[in-house]
Amino acid sequence: MKLNSLKLHNFRNYEHLNLEFSPNLNIIYGNNGVGKTNLVEAIYALSLTKSFRTNNDKYLIRNGELSTKIEGEVEENTINNYQVILNKEGKKVKINNNISSKISDYVSNINIIILEPDEQVILKSSPLARRKLLNIEISQLKKDYILYLNNYNKTLKQRNFYLRELMINSNASLEYLDILTTKLVEYGEKIYNYRNQFIENINQYLTNKYQQIFEIGNLALKYNSDYKNKDAKEIKDFYKKNYNREINAGKTLFGIHHDDIIFMLDGKDISEWGSNGQQKNAIFAFKLAEIEIFKQEKENYPILILDDLFSALDKKKVHNIFNLLNDNIQTFITTTELQKINKTILSKAKIFKVTLEGVKEE
């Protein structure tokens, strides 16, 4: 999958921008604060309709403007035009000028894997951040994943509401709770299966990728879920046995909304035990493993974005990473330090220099 061109209108610091990319390596360089990350953020938003560094779309709109438009031409077997239009009221997405009514249909089209400088923060964050990571990745792979997730969350809300009702009113019937539980488990099981499959797939590649770039060590993802080793009937029985606890709490205490993934390095939780570098490397190995899974499932490589990758890596590791990148993977790299990249690689890349005046091809 290749992004042939990108057109921005009032996106972040760009009033108008029109670029054509190499199908292989694109290097975007320039000083701090000139708009390098903004540029790859636009590519990300073209794919996922949102940013990776803010939950509030309004920051993507150029200061003083009312809306922004990101447009790109993506080549896979055919060439398609994609558009994301954001304004204060919300967002619109279009494929070949036709509005897609469902965002879930749109986001599985352009596949992106991004690695950003602070990514390892996710290891120390709450489980919510790690579930978000799973959701973003799996929604690109499976069209119906977001749908199940939305249905699950809706049912969860209803169930929590009804549990509070039961807490206050002991005469309320348990039958309706049964119905909501069955529904919750129905969606929950689908989500669990997708997550479990994804994690198993990642684990097939994880150690290998980790060792290829960095050092020795066995890396594996551990999936913690209330659904683990249980079929739908066993989960429902488990809920039933614990109805009283949930009624007393007035909310749903179990389910895939509590799932978590733990990165285990040599059998130990890397967030508790690993060095900063090891943590960074673990996330990087995870992303590289993902590339293989996307290739396997979508029969095409995703687009890879490495934002400010070299800021914390020495020259040798940068070199190892370039050796790992396959010519078939369209890659976007942003950096302030062009000199860290060796000449042979530079000669093969399309280079864009970003200054406060704009973006120039070199």
Q: How many amino acids of this chain bind ligand ATP (CB under 6 A)?
A: 16
Q: For residues 123 and 333, which CB has a smaller minimum distance to Mg ion in the complex?
A: 333
> Tokens representing 42?
């636009």
Task: Give the 3-state secondary structure of 50-112.
Answer: CCCCCCCHHHHECCCCCEEEEEEEEECCCEEEEEEEEECCEEEEEECCEECCCHHHHHCCCCE
Q: For residues 59 and 273, which CB has a smaller minimum distance to ligand ATP in the complex?
A: 59
Picked from ligand ATP, Mg ion, none, the partner binding residue 32 (CB below 5 to 8 A depending on kind) is ligand ATP
Judged by CB under 6 A, does residue 2 bind ligand ATP?
Answer: no
Q: Given the rule CB under 5 A, which residues bind Mg ion?
A: 37
Choose, by CB under 6 A, the member of 1, 34, 261, 264 that binds ligand ATP.
Answer: 34
CB of 321 to Mg ion, least distance (A): 18
Identity of the amino acid at 157: K
Stretch that binds ligand ATP, among 26-34, 131-139, 170-178, 339-347 (CB under 6 A): 26-34
Q: For residues 33 and 339, which CB has a smaller minimum distance to Mg ion in the complex?
A: 33
Hey, which residues does 7 pair with through a beta bridge?
18, 71
Q: For residues 214 and 332, which CB has a smaller minimum distance to ligand ATP in the complex?
A: 332
Closest-CA residue to 71 (of 125, 11, 132): 11
Q: For residues 15 and 237, which CB has a smaller minimum distance to ligand ATP in the complex?
A: 15
CB 37 within 8 A of CB 336: no
Judged by CB under 6 A, does residue 67 bind ligand ATP?
Answer: no
Of residues 196-215, those binding ligand ATP (CB under 6 A): none
Of residues 296-325, those binding ligand ATP (CB under 6 A): 308
Stretch that binds ligand ATP, among 19-27, 35-43, 126-134, 144-152 (CB under 6 A): 35-43
Strands 350-355 and 25-29: parallel
Choose, by CB under 6 A, the member of 6, 22, 27, 36 that binds ligand ATP.
Answer: 36
Rg of the chain's alpha carbons, rounded to an integer? 22
CB of 271 to Mg ion, least distance (A): 25
CB of 354 to ligand ATP, least distance (A): 6
Report how far residue 312's alpha carbon sits from residue 165's, in angstroms, rounded to the nearest whole number. Answer: 53
Report how far residue 36's alpha carbon sits from residue 38's, in angstroms, rounded to the nearest whole number. Answer: 5
Of residues 41-60, those binding ligand ATP (CB under 6 A): 59
CB of 358 to ligand ATP, least distance (A): 12
Choose, by CB under 6 A, the member of 63, 77, 169, 347 that binds ligand ATP.
Answer: 63
Report how far residue 72's alpha carbon sits from residue 83's, in angstroms, rounded to the nearest whole number. Answer: 7
Identity of the amino acid at 69: K
Task: Give the residue nearest to Mg ion (CB).
Answer: 37
First to last CA, the chain: 24
Choose, by CB under 6 A, the member of 22, 26, 37, 225 that binds ligand ATP.
Answer: 37
Helix, strand or coil, per DSSP, at residue 269? strand
**How big is the chain, counted in residues?**
362
Choose, by CB under 6 A, the member of 92, 336, 340, 358 that binds ligand ATP.
Answer: 336
CB 127 within 8 A of CB 259: yes
Among all chains, which residue has been given the structure tokens 């749903």? Answer: 252
Backbone angles phi, psi at 55, to 5 degrees: -90, -5
Q: What is the DSSP string of 298-322?
A: HSSPPEEEEETGGGG--HHHHHHHH
Judged by CB under 6 A, does residue 97 bind ligand ATP?
Answer: no
Residues that bind ligand ATP (CB under 6 A): 12-13, 30, 32-38, 59, 61-63, 308, 336
